[in-house]
A and B are shown apart, each in its own frame.
Chain A
Amino acid sequence: MVATLTEQVAQREQVLGKVREMLISVLDVQRAPDEIDPDAPLFGTGLGLDSIDAVEVVVSMEELFGVRLSDDAMVRAEMRTVNALVDVVIAARRSRGAA
């Protein structure tokens, strides 16, 4: 079980790293990667992204991870925090793996 958990954690950390990279290089978040906490809010407070950035997040998630964020209400739920984006990527990879 521990080996499986270790693998699961490693996968999550890998995706988290890439999402942090996206936030810094594409969304211009002025933070070092280790300053971007996994559960930091993206909008409003937190990392301070705005509605224009939200469009960029949607575009970047598709370009970098092949993930399409659809439907308004769910997009807001899926983009609330850094970890929420990580969840979407991991779910998409699992879904492709199962397909």
Chain B
Amino acid sequence: MALPDDFAAIRGSVALSRLDHVSYARVRGDSAYEALDAIFPGALRMRDGQMLHTMLLTDDAHPFADAYLCWDDEEFFLLAEGPSSGDLVAYLRDHLRDSGVDVEDRTASHAIVALDGPYAWETLGLVVDPEAIGLPYLTFYHHADWICYRAGKTGEYGYGIIVARTEVDALERRIVDVGERFDLRRVGLETLDQCALENWFFNIRREGRQPVTPIELQLQWRVSYQKAFVGSDALARRRRDGPRQRLTSLLANDEIAVDDIVSLAGEAVGRVVNAGFSHTRSEWVATALIDVAWAYSGIGTFTVAGDSRTASARSVTPPVLNNRSLSVSPQLHSYATRHAYPMPDLVRR
């Protein structure tokens, strides 16, 4: 069955989107590294030109922002989702106020365009320059007045270009023009969010709205228990006490929606926090916070109930797709010759 065009582009060629939901802030000062290390939960093991996929927490260790922290020569910049840019900058200024660093909000002056898909690298190479093709994951570089970075939340090759708002329309026209040979499509946030769900990327607007910590959200890889940071005391207490629930991936043939109750053997054991129909799988995909006793992959007898709806669901190991990008190599392949080489199925059953 053919995918709707938006998903066909992300999963099979390349999609263009404008990341208006992402804030862009710069942090500068002699003690910027130490100051940022004191607020971010992860160890800042990075160097100039690298990005760290991290997050910011509240004092209760709940998610505040999903962020990329980027080391840019003698300063840092942040690309963050969740709070408004005003709230993000207020958070940073509040927690960094004694450090002597300066925080500048550039969200109003700059836009971010994203390319996602198995051939996003090829499109980017023609739009920017061939150097962009070799960009390692979670790195960035300056191309004239642009910042080009490699990161995304769809499970495919993903890139972003940070550009002055006065130039973004011209950039997008150029991308659309180059993208014709790649069957490029413009997609919106809803499509990106569905792809993120399929690929087990934390969504600050969905899973992140829950009053839980990185422990329940299975995001401990973003945390270092060896240092203090905003929320570290609360997180240590939760770790000591043990989580009651854990985020778990579910699949169902029938509709599942946010806030649906998850049951097992007649007992309520959890609640759905993110859900959407996967056109790639022809099934409903969801994440749910489930009691730890049953928060395991491979259980086939969950029941998910909402308003006048009941669905049978099974817990699975995410991500729920075989991303084509895993099989596409910039050294070997191109969109023009994509039919010449076999690809694994997109869906693992």
- A residues with CB within 8 A of B: 1-2, 5, 8-9, 12-13, 31-32, 34-41, 44-48, 73-74, 76-77, 80-81, 83-84, 86-87, 90
Contacts and interface: CB of A to CB of B under 8 A. Distances in A.
B322 A77 contact: yes
B327 A9 contact: no
A45 B53 contact: yes
Q: Which 9 A-B pairs have the closest CB atoms?
A: A37-B218, A83-B317, A73-B344, A76-B326, A35-B220, A46-B221, A40-B221, A45-B53, A39-B218
Contacts of B301: 1, 5
Contacts of A45: 53, 138, 221
Nearest to B43: A30
Contacts of B221: 37, 40-41, 45-48
Nearest to B297: A83
A87 B344 contact: no
Contact of A5 (B138, B200, B299, B344): B299
Nearest to A84: B317
B317 A37 contact: no
A2 B294 CA distance: 10
Interface string B199-233: 01000000000000000001111010100000000
A12 B218 contact: no
26 contacts: A2-B265, A5-B265, A8-B298, A9-B296, A12-B296, A12-B297, A12-B298, A13-B296, A37-B220, A38-B296, A38-B297, A39-B200, A39-B218, A40-B220, A41-B221, A44-B138, A73-B326, A74-B344, A76-B327, A77-B326, A81-B200, A81-B318, A83-B317, A87-B297, A87-B298, A87-B317
Contacts of B225: 32, 35
Nearest to B136: A44
A91 to B, nearest CB: 10
Given A36-B220, A83-B317, 17 more contacts: A2-B265, A12-B296, A31-B220, A34-B239, A35-B220, A38-B246, A39-B200, A39-B218, A39-B318, A41-B221, A45-B138, A47-B221, A48-B221, A73-B326, A77-B344, A81-B317, A83-B318
Contacts of B53: 45
Interface of B: 53, 137-138, 200, 218-221, 223, 225, 239, 246-247, 249, 264-265, 293-294, 296-299, 301, 317-319, 322, 326-327, 344, 348
Nearest to B267: A2
Nearest to B348: A77
Contacts of A34: 239
A27 to B, nearest CB: 14
Contact of B322 (A32, A40, A46, A73): A73
Name, among A5, A44, A74, A81, the residue most crowded by chain B CB atoms within 10 Å (CB to CB): A5
Contacts of B318: 39, 81, 83
B239 to A, nearest CB: 7
Nearest to B265: A2
Contacts of B220: 31, 35-37, 40
Contacts of A87: 297-298, 317
B294 A5 contact: yes
B137 A44 contact: yes
Contacts of B247: 39
Contacts of A8: 296, 298-299
Contacts of A2: 265
A84 B299 CA distance: 15
B346 to A, nearest CB: 11
B265 A9 contact: no
